[in-house]
Amino acid sequence: METATRSFQEQIQEGIPAELPAPKPYDPDTNHAPKRKDILSKEEKVLALQNALRYFPQKWHKELAPEFAEELKKYGRIYMYRFRPDYDMYARPIEEYPGNSQQAKAIMLMIQNNLDP
């Protein structure tokens, strides 16, 4: 198995990292969705932040909340750029995805295919 493939498999199996990764810059060379109109109420924005933060340990919320709020303000979405994977985003052959379920592997493949720049 190639190092790049193993690296991809190790990264994708990691899930949410044990340590908070350093912030990653906005990549202007990547195609991005257009900014959404600012139509959310204050309460809806708070709910959006709460929903985004619920996936992460409480100890990270103080640092992530302002970052996610800025993304919501600037782009109209919470992208969680800090957690953007380091591997190239493209659909790989299904056998390169880790897992025991062909259906789960197919879902990962389809998601990466949709995100392929």
Cβ contact 109:95 at 8 Å? no
77 in the same domain as 55: yes
Task: Report whether 75 contacts 36 (CB < 8 A).
Answer: yes
- What letter represents residue 67's amino acid? E
Same-domain status, 80 and 109: no
Say how many domains are in the chain: 2
Question: 92 lies in which domain range?
Answer: 87-117
Asked if 46 and 78 sit in the same domain, the reply is yes
Instruction: Give residue 30's pLDDT band: very low, low, confident or very high (50, 70, 90).
Output: confident
Residue 6: predicted pLDDT? 55
What pLDDT digit, counting tens, does each position of 81-100 carry?
A: 999 988 888 999 999 999 99
Tell me the C-alpha distance between 102 and 27, whole Å.
Answer: 32
For residues 103 and 80, membership in a common domain is answered with: no
Name residues whose C-beta falls within 8 Å of residue 102's C-beta, 6 or more positions apart in sequence: 94
Whole-model pTM?
0.80
One domain, residues 42 and 79: yes
Residue 26, domain member (yes or no): no
Helices 42-53, 61-75: axis angle to 10 degrees equals 130
Residue 29 lies in a domain: no
Whole-number pLDDT of residue 64: 98
Residue 71 CA, chain-centre distance (Å), reads 13
Same domain, 94 and 71: no
Residue 8 in contact with residue 96, Cβ under 8 Å? yes
Token pair belonging to 98: 């880790």
pLDDT at 44 over 80: yes
Show Cβ contacts of residue 76 under 8 Å, excluding neighbours closer than 6 positions: 35, 36, 37, 38
